[in-house]
Amino acid sequence: MGATSGIGLRVAEMYARAGWRVGAAGRKENVLKELKQKFPEQVEWERIDVTADDASLRLGQLIHKTGGMNIYLHVSGIGFENNRLIAEEELSTLQTNVIGFARMVGTAFRHFRDKCGGKGQIAAITSVAGTNGIGELASYSSSKRFQQTYLTALEQLSNMQGMNMTFTDIRPGWVRTPLLKPDRKYPFTMELDEVAPLVVRAIRTKRRVAVIDWRWNIGYQLWRLIPNCLWVKLDVPVSQPANPRQEKQNAAIEAATANP
């Protein structure tokens, strides 16, 4: 789910190239058609918007096309650097990353429970940002914390109901995808060619939590030790201008031309 750009598209290509039967879903129909043309024997697709009411129904249709489902991988997500706390951006993030996530992961859970005897694997790309609230990424970091907690809750529910479901929470740091602003620098930025194989390996080895990569894993472990009373007093910028001088010039021009 989310196979039309970034990590989702790259992982779908890797699985198809390896001979897997892949059900690819996302909002960009043209990308899905291209993926099908590239791997006509391996790929089936369905246009799915996780925020739409018919998303669960469409996932069921895709599962039917592929002849079943063993692994559900959820990659769909959005986020904004939103230090002005623009309401539209905050709510859009939550609509996709919280409501859409619960809708689709819940649908996968019910499928494995009702159609597969309680067996199956649910994997999701969350983020190290879910470790704590980040001021410039308030809705994004909070939504990623929700996703991590939701997976934990479903794992407990699976055990309570005597099922044998596997859950994999994959937490990358910054990855160079369309979500990142091209004119900004982000700490420890990783490329898709680095990240996608690590995602596939985490799913194959059924890791419960996989932090990608080792640099972020070290930072994540240290991050968890910071108490909230100290964390909220820290200045945590999530990015910086790729060209600080040009950024200052742009800011000066904007200030000079702003309406009084």
Query: 137-166: per-residue pLDDT in tens?
Result: 999 999 999 999 999 999 999 999 999 999
Tell me how far apart the alpha carbons of residues 202 and 196 are, in angstroms, rounded to a whole number: 10
User: Nearest CA to 212 among 225, 194, 193, 226?
Assistant: 194
208: pLDDT confidence band, cut at 50, 70 and 90? very high
pLDDT at 240: 63
Mean pLDDT of 84-106: 97
pLDDT at 182: 72
Tell me how far apart the alpha carbons of residues 130 and 145 are, in angstroms, rounded to a whole number: 4
Tell me how far apart the alpha carbons of residues 240 and 186 are, in angstroms, rounded to a whole number: 7
What are the φ/ψ torsions at residue 107 (nearest 5 degrees)?
A: -60, -45
ω into 169 cis (within 30 of 0):
no
- Please check whether residue 23 is in contact with residue 46, taking contact to mean a CB–CB distance below 8 angstroms: yes
Tell me how far apart the alpha carbons of residues 21 and 67 are, in angstroms, rounded to a whole number: 9
- Please check whether residue 209 is in contact with residue 171, taking contact to mean a CB–CB distance below 8 angstroms: yes
Residues comprising the chain, all counted: 260
Terminal CA-CA length for the chain: 47
Residue 160 neighbours by CB under 8 Å, 6+ apart: none
Tally of CB atoms within 10 A around 46: 22
pLDDT at 111: 98
Percent of the chain residues past pLDDT 90, beyond the cut: 79
Joined together, the tokens standing for residue 95 give: 């609509």
- Please check whether residue 118 is in contact with residue 163, taking contact to mean a CB–CB distance below 8 angstroms: yes
Tally of CB atoms within 10 A around 244: 10
184: pLDDT confidence band, cut at 50, 70 and 90? confident
Joined together, the tokens standing for residue 44 give: 């089936």
Residue with tokens 């592929």: 66
